[in-house]
Amino acid sequence: MRNVNVHPFDAFDALMIEIINYSTSVSSGDSCVRFLESIGVSVSEKLIEKATKDHSRFINELDTVKYVCTEFWSSVYHKQVDTLKTNYQDVYVLTVNEFQPLLKFESVPESMSEIPKYLAFPSGLLKGALGSLGLNCIVTAECEQLPTCKFTVTILSYRGVN
């Protein structure tokens, strides 16, 4: 048995379950995933504006990504991204071990097809936060081994705002 330090089920978790249930009732497949991602983008734009209101300007692209992986991600998921890797050519891979929204899939493997819905919102959070900080990007998510997930951020352009 794993000894994992995860936050307890809270209002955010309950809200996410309801948002996913709602999105599934009004759309399906890719449109459901896009809907959930758009909610993540919208939420993060508001959160990042509040979080960085008194923050000094980010020096470069890497500092911006580091901030999102530590401070911003922690404010939402109660822990930092576990690993941040880059090829220094505008691609960043963020690894989150023991990702709370995926823990339930370990005990219910027949629901694995639902995982993209649970990764769409956090993908949108990353895209919206980085976009608000001047990094126009594409975010993709994958889960090769539960409950670890990887978010790949491909930077399209950087306008250095804050």
Q: Which residues pair with 95 in a beta bridge?
A: 83, 150
Q: Among 3.30.1380.20, 3.40.50.720, 3.30.56.10, 3.40.50.1820, what is the CATH number of 11-158?
A: 3.30.1380.20
Helix axes 11-26 and 115-132, enclosed angle (nearest 10): 110
pLDDT at residue 106, as a whole number = 80
pLDDT in tens, 21-45: 899 888 888 999 999 999 999 999 9
Q: What is the CA radius of gyration of the chain?
A: 15
Mean pLDDT to the nearest integer, 2-17: 66
pLDDT at 3 over 70: no
Structure tokens at 126: 């990353």
pLDDT at residue 1, as a whole number = 44
Calculate the alpha carbon distances from 114 to 8, 17, 45, 140 in Å.
Answer: 22, 12, 25, 16
Q: pTM to 2 decimals?
A: 0.88
pLDDT in tens, 80-137: 999 999 988 899 999 999 998 888 888 876 688 889 999 999 999 999 999 999 999 9
